[in-house]
């Protein structure tokens, strides 16, 4: 690798470097200890230790080239190499292109300047694409060289950044270098002859946290596959931790969580990830979350500034954040003053051709067109209009609230660009007035921005989704009448139709979520206070930004926030966790709190106040309220003897929560309908409860919640993956002889191979089949190429010369539904027979591999490669004879997996599939088809190949020759009844040559004269004939019944999976 020319004092370097080559202008040196027997003794060990600790690859690369100028002790380092071949390429290039030119210069200074210019030009050309985005390209190139040298990972593995740190082995720190790349966390240390090399894949990380203890003031704890690793550093620990957190979460999303709404361009091409890109992305995500902006916004600039606040007459000091479409300001306090200014609302010119006018015109046109079918008023204004003539105390309080907001609007402005201050927060805590609720929900959630930039979108989606029929629409129809059934708005067609349109439109917009239970409850409340189109955009804001990943098949977002909630309970209510040690109680109780924002547990008139706070503060409001509820009921919960008693106590509390200021009539208020006899609790006002939650737990910051969410996400997804694995193992273990531990190891290897295929091949289609909503067995499936790799690692028959053909035929045998994919159950069934099968079972497997549908004649395109199949050949042969007509293929795919169709889950299809599998277990050997002569010859060749290298090789060859001769004689006797002449003897002599393949007769005779097979009448063998003949040969029986060290095979496969892909 070419290096930026730097001065080297050769006098001090002679003890560490040895001269290899030199000429008048350049010197090639080798690092002392490298390539020497014994590592160069004590000097070599010291040099190796220096190389591991010091921060310069020029010092650690084993070879380097220096440019020398006569009569000077100062040399310039211009190149380094990890091996002799690499450095010799550079040396040869210098001799051919530079050395011949240098004598024409008059002075040494001109020579040095020319060499420096040439080298810098080479570096600029070489790093034009690779290192342009790095802060220090030269230093990064050096680190990249060391990373490749130490770990030998494929070139596609993108190094993101690196840090100097200590890795703790017990209480002993090992100083070295931490490398963070797209798929791995790697550490390397070399101290006094002791080398430590650690590689952890991000998808295996289940826990990532910063900790402090007596020995370490602060360190990073990484837990992977049950093992804990600790890293500490003097500098950049926060930056390191954030980058590790991002990389781990991206790997988890990319490989495990395919249910996210939008395709993330970063996840689509992880090889483009850079340190700066990750930092910019983190800032943008924080910016969008804080100001509730669309996910597409990217933070461009941040400036410290002061904002003049006219109503308070002072300058608020803070930061101005600029993106493509917004200018935002937040004060240092955070709560003091926040402002969002969309560029669309900033008048640029008075020209009537302003594009914003076109947007407004289009919006108004769409409004007029869709007003005939869509509700343009909130349902509450239709079903509960405020009557000014009958003002009571509650209505007067409501009017006072409205007046307070109007005063705020007069001072701070109204709409998106209003000043958001502590006063606005206080007013939200008191409860937003009924008439302003829809408007302010839109404002605080950021949904107003989505609707403004997508005029007419909702009307279009409604029109496109009308009449669609799928699983989501069926579930929506089922739940429509269960959504706030006590409210008159949803006892009429007006409310039901609006709810149907909003839910169906969202399912059409976002098919990956479609419809999830709890969405109907939330949407029905949104429709009460917001217009229909506004309710749709509020639902979009909740599902896609404010509660990410809540409403999907695995409700990962809700599980993550439950884990955050449990962590907060441990921090703020330790006495409760001491009494209720099983934290799953809090998870089961709080799930509906998070999914429905307390709407399902609180009376509607109180729940809407919670929704007010949620749209203003986000998930923080729900977490704070949850803590306040547990704190309020602390004494009752501590007195409970079991979970059921605790649940009852909480339910009684929720029944006692009221909203004394609610203007709703008593007929609509759920809290007022609870009889005093039913509830022994003292009435609790929701406003007091919310105010108390802010006072006690207002110190919880959004940044802390974000960090806890990232930390918990790893744990939640890995727990779900572990559950999937345990369910798969439970099903598979019933059908195989492998132990549970062996199956566990095999599953890890199976899944890892799938991921390895995806690490460095972005276009790989296999993970597109990963759907967590499918049955456990169908979630991970491998193709033929991946199966071949695993076959080579695991099969006891992988030493055979035709192992690629055997792998192909085995895959075709297992792929019963012809979709070119096999699951773990199918994979483990074949491996189990090879490891633990009886003589008959192993022979039956080999027999099936040589008859259709598994067997297909393999013709190699490139004979020079022997029996090795290329990826293209493997793909072609695996798909051979599996193509079907379109209608049959579609029907077959639905039949093979009842959940793969878009319609309902077909229970009858599952029962039928289950019965088929039961019958397969009773597979009778008499039902196996006969093997014809070409298949039998290939079967014989396979046996010969399997025996190669065995200690009893000669006796095995003799035994198989005897068996084939016997079988052919039996067939000849049988055919004499039908044919007076037969030349089976000739063929017998060909196949049964006593010398076996070592004499080359079997293959050569058949290959030289293939007409033998065509001219002679066809003969065939039944499985019983072959089995009976082979059982007569003890050597053959011993070979197939020889025990296999399964543990050693699995361990070797685990270590070989990564090693086979590295350059080490």
* Cα-Cα-Cα-Cα dihedral sign, residues 289, 293, 297, 300: negative
pLDDT band at 999 (very low <50, low <70, confident <90, very high): very low
Residue 517 burial class via C-beta count within 10 angstroms: exposed 0-12, middle 13-18, buried 19 and up: middle
Q: Is the pLDDT reported for residue 919 higher than 70?
A: no
* Alpha carbon distance, N-terminus to C-terminus of the chain: 18
Q: Which of 209-218, 525-534, 646-655, 882-891 has the lowest mean pLDDT?
A: 882-891
Residue 175 burial class via C-beta count within 10 angstroms: exposed 0-12, middle 13-18, buried 19 and up: middle
Helix (H, G, I), strand (E, B) or coil at 351: coil
Q: Please give the pLDDT value at position 862.
A: 56
pLDDT band at 911 (very low <50, low <70, confident <90, very high): low
Q: Is the pLDDT reported for residue 987 higher than 50?
A: no
Q: Is the pLDDT reported for residue 35 higher than 70?
A: no
- Nearest CA among 186, 160, 187 for reference residue 266: 160
**208: which strand partners?**
222
Average pLDDT, the chain: 81
pTM of the model: 0.78
Backbone angles phi, psi at 655, to 5 degrees: -65, -25
| Contact call for residues 75 and 7 (beta carbons, < 8 A) | yes
Once rounded to an integer, what is the mean pLDDT over residues 759-774? Answer: 63
Question: pLDDT tens-digit profile of 339-358?
Answer: 999 999 888 655 544 544 54
Q: Would you give the DSSP letter of residue 671? A: G
| Contact call for residues 789 and 765 (beta carbons, < 8 A) | no
- Residue 943 to residue 5: CA distance in whole angstroms: 62
Q: Is 892 left (phi over 0), alpha (psi -120 to 50) or beta?
A: alpha
pLDDT band at 237 (very low <50, low <70, confident <90, very high): confident
Q: Would you give the DSSP letter of residue 999? A: G
Helix (H, G, I), strand (E, B) or coil at 374: coil
Q: Cα torsion for 273, 274, 279, 283, to the nearest 10°?
A: -40
- Residue 392 to residue 677: CA distance in whole angstroms: 27
pLDDT band at 258 (very low <50, low <70, confident <90, very high): low
- Residue 864 to residue 228: CA distance in whole angstroms: 48
| Contact call for residues 967 and 943 (beta carbons, < 8 A) | no
What tokens does 577 get?
A: 């966790």
Q: 104-113 burial string, b = 16+ CB within 10 Å, else e?
A: eeeeeeebbe
- Residue 507 to residue 501: CA distance in whole angstroms: 10
- Nearest CA among 36, 27, 33 for reference residue 8: 27
- Nearest CA among 692, 636, 681 for reference residue 655: 681
What distance separates the 2 farthest-apart alpha carbons in the chain?
118
Placement of tokens 């098919």 in the chain? 511
Backbone angles phi, psi at 78, to 5 degrees: -125, -15
Question: pLDDT tens-digit profile of 284-323?
Answer: 999 999 999 998 899 999 998 989 888 878 888 899 999 9
| 853 upstream amide cis, omega within 30 of 0 | yes
Q: Please give the pLDDT value at position 813.
A: 94
Please give the share of the chain, as a percent, with pLDDT higher than 90. Answer: 43
Backbone angles phi, psi at 47, to 5 degrees: -65, -45
Q: Which of 89-103, 515-529, 558-572 has the lowest mean pLDDT?
A: 89-103
Q: Please give the pLDDT value at position 844.
A: 94
What tokens does 736 get?
A: 């195989």
Question: pLDDT tens-digit profile of 582-600?
Answer: 788 888 899 999 999 999 9
Do you know the residue count of the chain? 1064
């Amino acid at each position: 690798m070419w290096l930026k020319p730097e001065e080297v004092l050769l006098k001090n370097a002679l003890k560490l470097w040895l001269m290899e080559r030199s000429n008048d202008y350049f010197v090639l040196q080798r690092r002392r200890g490298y390539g020497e027997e014994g590592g160069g003794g004590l000097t070599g060990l010291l040099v190796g230790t220096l190389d591991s600790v010091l921060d310069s690859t020029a010092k650690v690369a084993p070879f380097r080239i220096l440019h020398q100028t006569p009569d000077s002790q100062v040399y310039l380092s211009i190149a380094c190499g990890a091996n002799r071949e690499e450095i010799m390429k550079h040396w040869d290039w210098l001799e051919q292109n530079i050395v011949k030119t240098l004598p024409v210069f008059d002075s040494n200074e001109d020579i040095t300047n020319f060499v420096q210019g040439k080298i810098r030009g080479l570096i600029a050309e070489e790093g034009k694409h690779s290192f342009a985005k790095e802060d220090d390209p030269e230093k990064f190139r050096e680190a990249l060289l060391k990373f490749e040298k130490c770990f030998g990972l494929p070139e596609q593995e993108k190094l993101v950044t690196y840090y100097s740190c200590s890795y703790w082995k017990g209480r002993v720190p090992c100083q070295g270098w931490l490398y963070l790349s797209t798929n791995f966390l790697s550490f390397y240390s070399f101290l006094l002859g002791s080398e430590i090399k650690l590689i952890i894949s991000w998808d295996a990380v289940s826990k990532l946290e910063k900790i402090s203890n007596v020995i370490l003031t602060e360190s990073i704890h990484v837990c992977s596959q049950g093992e804990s690793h600790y890293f500490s550093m003097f500098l950049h620990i926060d930056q390191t931790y954030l980058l590790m957190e991002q990389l781990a979460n991206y790997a988890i999303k990319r490989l495990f969580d395919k249910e996210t709404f939008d395709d993330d361009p970063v996840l689509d091409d992880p090889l483009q990830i850079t340190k700066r890109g990750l930092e910019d992305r983190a800032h943008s995500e924080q910016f969008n979350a804080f100001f509730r902006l669309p996910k597409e916004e990217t933070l461009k600039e941040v400036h410290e500034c002061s904002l003049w606040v006219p109503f308070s007459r002072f300058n608020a000091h803070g930061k101005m954040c600029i993106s493509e479409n917004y200018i935002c300001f937040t004060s240092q306090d955070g709560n003091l003053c926040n402002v969002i200014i969309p560029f669309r609302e900033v008048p640029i010119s008075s020209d009537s051709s302003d594009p914003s006018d076109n947007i407004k015109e289009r919006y108004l046109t769409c409004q007029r067109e869709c007003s005939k079918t869509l509700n343009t008023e909130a349902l509450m204004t239709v079903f509960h209009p405020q009557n000014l003539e009958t003002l009571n105390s509650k209505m007067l309080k409501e009017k006072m609230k409205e007046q307070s907001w109007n005063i705020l609007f007069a001072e701070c402005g109204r709409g998106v660009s209003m000043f958001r201050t502590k006063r606005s927060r206080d007013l939200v805590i008191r409860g937003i007035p009924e008439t302003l609720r829809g408007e302010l929900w839109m404002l605080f959630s950021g949904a107003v921005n989505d609707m403004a930039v997508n005029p007419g979108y909702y009307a279009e989606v409604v029109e496109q989704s009308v009449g669609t029929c799928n699983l989501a629409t069926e579930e929506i129809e089922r739940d429509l009448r269960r959504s706030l059934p006590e409210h008159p708005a949803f006892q009429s067609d007006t409310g039901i139709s609006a709810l149907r349109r909003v839910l169906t439109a969202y399912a059409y917009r976002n098919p990956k979520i479609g419809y999830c239970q709890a969405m109907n409850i939330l949407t029905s409340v949104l429709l009460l206070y917001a217009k229909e189109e506004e309710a749709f955009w509020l639902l979009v804001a909740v599902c896609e930004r404010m509660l990410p990943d809540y409403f999907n098949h695995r409700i990962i977002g809700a599980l993550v926030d439950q884990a955050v909630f449990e962590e907060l309970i441990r921090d703020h209510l330790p006495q409760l966790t001491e009494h209720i040690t099983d934290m799953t109680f809090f998870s089961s109780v709080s799930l509906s709190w998070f999914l429905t924002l307390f709407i399902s547990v609180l009376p509607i008139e109180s729940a809407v106040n919670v929704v007010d706070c949620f749209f203003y503060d986000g998930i923080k409001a729900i977490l704070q309220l949850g803590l306040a509820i547990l704190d309020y009921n602390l004494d009752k919960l501590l007195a409970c003897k079991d979970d059921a008693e605790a649940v009852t106590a909480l339910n009684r509390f929720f029944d006692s929560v009221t909203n004394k200021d609610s203007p709703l009539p008593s007929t609509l208020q759920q809290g007022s309908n609870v009889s005093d006899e039913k509830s022994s609790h003292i009435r609790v006002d929701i406003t007091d409860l919310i105010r108390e939650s802010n006072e006690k737990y207002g110190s919880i910051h959004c940044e802390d919640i974000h960090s806890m969410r990232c930390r918990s996400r790893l744990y939640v997804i890995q727990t779900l993956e572990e559950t999937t694995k345990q369910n798969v193992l439970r099903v598979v273990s019933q059908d195989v002889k492998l132990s549970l531990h062996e199956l566990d190891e095999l599953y890890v290897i199976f899944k890892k191979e799938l991921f390895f295929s995806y690490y460095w091949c972005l276009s790989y289609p296999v993970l597109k089949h990963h759907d967590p909503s499918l049955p456990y067995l169908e979630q991970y499936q491998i193709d033929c190429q991946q199966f071949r790799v695993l076959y080579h690692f695991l099969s006891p028959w992988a030493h055979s010369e035709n192992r690629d053909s055997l792998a192909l035929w085995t895959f075709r045998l297992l792929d019963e539904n012809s979709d070119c994919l096999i699951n773990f159950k199918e994979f483990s069934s074949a491996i189990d027979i090879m490891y633990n099968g009886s003589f008959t079972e192993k022979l039956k497997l080999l027999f099936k591999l040589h008859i259709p549908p598994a067997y297909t004649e393999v013709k190699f395109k490139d004979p020079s490669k022997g029996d090795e199949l290329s990826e293209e050949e493997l793909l072609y042969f695996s798909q051979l004879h599996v193509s079907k007509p379109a209608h049959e293929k579609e029907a077959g795919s639905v039949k093979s997996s009842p959940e793969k169709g878009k319609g309902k889950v077909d229970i009858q299809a599952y029962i039928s599939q289950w019965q088929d599998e039961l019958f397969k277990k009773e597979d009778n050997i008499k039902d196996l088809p006969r093997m014809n002569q070409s298949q039998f010859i290939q079967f014989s060749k396979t046996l010969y190949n399997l025996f190669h290298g065995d200690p009893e090789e000669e006796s095995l060859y003799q035994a198989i020759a005897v068996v084939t001769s016997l079988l052919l004689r039996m067939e000849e006797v049988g055919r004499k009844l039908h044919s007076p002449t037969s030349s089976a003897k000739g063929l017998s002599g060909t196949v049964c040559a006593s010398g076996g393949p070592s004499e080359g007769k079997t293959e050569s005779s058949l290959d030289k004269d293939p007409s033998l097979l065509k001219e002679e009448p066809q003969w065939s063998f039944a499985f019983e004939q072959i089995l009976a003949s082979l059982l007569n040969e003890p050597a053959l029986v011993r070979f197939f019944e020889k025990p296999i060290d399964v543990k050693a095979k699995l361990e070797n496969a685990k270590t070989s999976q990564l090693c086979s892909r590295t350059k080490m």
